[in-house]
Amino acid sequence: MPGAATQSELGHGYAGAPPRVSIESEGGASATMSVGDGDVASATDMVTLVDPSFDENILRSLCETDCGVPLLLDRIKQSMVSCREAAAFLKRRAGLEDEYGKGLQKLARSTSTEYAQHEGKAGSFVNAWQASMRTHEAMAESRTKFALRLNEMSEELNNLVKEVEKNRKATKDLATRYERALQESESLTEKTKARFDMTAEELERLLLQKEGEPLKDNAMQGRSPVNGKRVIGKAVAKGGMLLKGRNPQNMQRQEDDIRARMSGASDAYRKAVTDTQTIRQEYFNFQLPRILRALKECVDEIDLGTQYHLSRYAFLCESIVHSEATILQPQDDHVLGLKATMESIDNRSDFKVWMQSYIYAHGGQNARGPRRNGPQDEGFLPPIPALHHPGSSPSLAHAYLDKGRPTFGVSLADQMARDDVDVPPIVVKCCEAIEKYGLDQQGIYRIGGTHSKVMKLKERLDRDLETVNLDADEWSSDISNVTSVLKLWLRELPDPLFTSSQHQDFMDAARNDNERARHIRLHERVNALPDANYSTLKYLMGHLHKFVQHEAQNQMSVQNLAIVFGPTLFGQGQPGLNGAMNGMADASLQNKAVETILEHYTDIFVDDADEA
């Protein structure tokens, strides 16, 4: 049967007895048909079909209204539009933040690099300036991370919209399929009812014909429905007085045939009503609550998801502001904030240091202006002695005359006295950068830098050591330029690090074939070096010792480093008996001396320092 087939197609039926069905005929009369012993499912039974965690009041209200499904479908569309707008906003905000962060980072790095290339102020100003650029880089990095989080949230919202739209479409299709099945069953019921009514009218017309009663329009039209059957109407009344002279046997056969067809139409109508009512009850009591619940869950999912991401966005906005505040004013008292960094600039001290360096570089014989003093026979008057009160300090120019900044070609002792340090600042600055960027670089110190860049770095270091930032990409990207500058500084020392006066003593000690004896003799020669040479050699050997410990990565063994630094630390050697330089002849001994000292670095320097 069509109704049964439709019910089977839906795939949901009742396992118990079928319910009683009450339908209403076209004329308005109520006809009750008994289709089983069960009762119609109550509201309580309907509620049990829903997840208890769901809002039962909302679901009950949606089930009672006749527009629950379109209501929820339209609500989901609204929520999807809102979610898309939120995702688009986060996407655009992420683009702005990313552009701002990258632009600020590029500005800070380029500013730091460009300042090192120009003749700007040194001292506390350059330190504060570089620190402020690092602060801006930290702020830029924070903004870039913020943009990344916003992009992730935007993608999650877009994925949420796609998922909800997919579920909405699937649930809508399911609801449409159930509604169409119910409409088709109701249409079939209407057809079977019409067939039943036609047969009933035909039977009534036959009975009237058989009795031979006259049919009047007014009487037929005014007849009220009886037992749910409609009157014949005008179409039957037009026949007027029916003839009585018909064959009774033929009329009896017609009556039996019509009654048989009427019985079949009644059974079909009863079956269609039963199937339709079953489908209707299953739809309204079981399927519709499920559909409404699924749609309401889609509404909740997208609404709660959108609210969650907007709340997360608000939290991230607060976090980025707090993060920037922490960067500008760190909570650690030992770290200066941006304001404190700028306030740390000491213009007075910077000017004094600049004056010292300028006088050292341009004063004395290098002065281009008129001379103050000179021979009296050339017309110069003797200088007027300055009056010094007890406790007063000498002239500022003379007080700082020995504190110039040039470092290449300046004797080691003069640099130590001028800068009041144990190790020349250029050695410390270069070694720290080399250890930071080249400790694991293969062939470090063996591979030379670019000549033009080496000369450029030398000129900057010699002009103003403090303003040079070796962490800049210009130098850190190719650390070989820094290693070449360090070796150039050692070669340009007026007196080599191992000193010319002790050159022959070092060579004699290196000639010793006995390892232990050679170690002891070279240890004695190292201890005999001047204090400035000894402290510088100790720092340099400690630096090279770190590279020996990373030999597996940088491929620089003790022998390789000795070959590189032998001629550098001993210089060109001393003239021989024929007046020629012995540098090439002593090369193997120089390398052997450096190799032995580096191999026994701990015994020569560290233990000695511990004993001291």
Q: Predicted confidence band at 287 (pLDDT cuts at 50, 70, 90)?
A: confident
Residue 494 token pair: 């007026």
Strand partners, 24: 30
The token duo for 228 is 């749910």
Structure tokens at 300: 């909740």
pLDDT tens digits for 235-267?
344 333 343 445 778 888 888 888 898 899 899
User: The tokens of 94 are what?
Assistant: 């992420």
CA dihedral sign, ordered 499, 501, 503, 508: negative
> Is 566's pLDDT higher than 60?
yes
3-state secondary structure at position 131: helix
User: How is the chain split into domains, by residue range?
Assistant: 54-212+252-360, 412-604
CA–CA separation, 275 vs 5, rounded Å?
A: 9
The stretch 90-113 carries a mean pLDDT of 93
What is residue 33's three-state secondary structure? strand
E strands within 161-310?
Answer: none
CATH superfamily, region 54-212+252-360: Arfaptin homology (AH) domain/BAR domain (1.20.1270.60)
151: helix, coil or strand?
helix
Sign of the dihedral through C-alpha 442, 444, 446, 451: positive
Question: In this predicted model, which residue has the larger pLDDT, 232 or 573?
Answer: 573
For residue 519, pLDDT over 60 is answered with: yes
Average pLDDT over residues 267-291: 89
What pLDDT does 213 receive? Answer: 58
pLDDT above 70 coverage of the chain, percent: 75
Mean pLDDT for 129-154 is 93
User: Which pLDDT does position 434 carry in this prediction?
Assistant: 94
According to the model, what pLDDT value does residue 371 have? 62
For position 489, what pLDDT does the model report?
92
The pLDDT value given to residue 221:
44
Kindly list the distances between the CA atom of residue 310 and the CA atoms of 144, 314, 316, 484, in Å, as whole numbers in the listed order: 19, 6, 10, 56
For residue 237, the model assigns a pLDDT of: 41
CATH H superfamily, domain 412-604:
Rho GTPase activation protein (1.10.555.10)
**Can you tell me the distance from the alpha carbon of 35 to that of 228, in angstroms, rounded to the nearest whole number?**
18
What pLDDT is stored for residue 443 in this prediction?
87
Residue 5 confidence class, pLDDT cut points 50, 70, 90 = very low
Q: What is the pLDDT of residues 325-383, one digit of tens each?
A: 989 888 887 788 888 889 888 888 888 877 877 776 766 555 566 666 666 666 666 65
Q: Which two tokens stand for residue 435?
A: 């250890």
* pTM for the full predicted model: 0.48
CA distances from 481 to 130, 131, 150, 485 (A): 22, 24, 42, 6
Question: Is the confidence at residue 220, as pLDDT, over 80?
Answer: no
Q: For the CA atoms of 536, 540, 545, 551, what is the dihedral angle to 10 degrees?
A: -170
Q: Which residue type is seen at 467?
A: T
Most confidently modeled range among 156-160, 286-290, 322-326: 156-160
Q: Which two tokens stand for residue 336?
A: 């200066």
Confirm whether 54-212+252-360 and 412-604 share one CATH topology: no
Q: What is the mean pLDDT of residues 268-289?
A: 89
More confident residue, 282 or 396: 282
Local confidence band at 90 (pLDDT 50, 70, 90 cut-offs): very high
User: For all residues of the chain together, what is the average pLDDT?
Assistant: 78
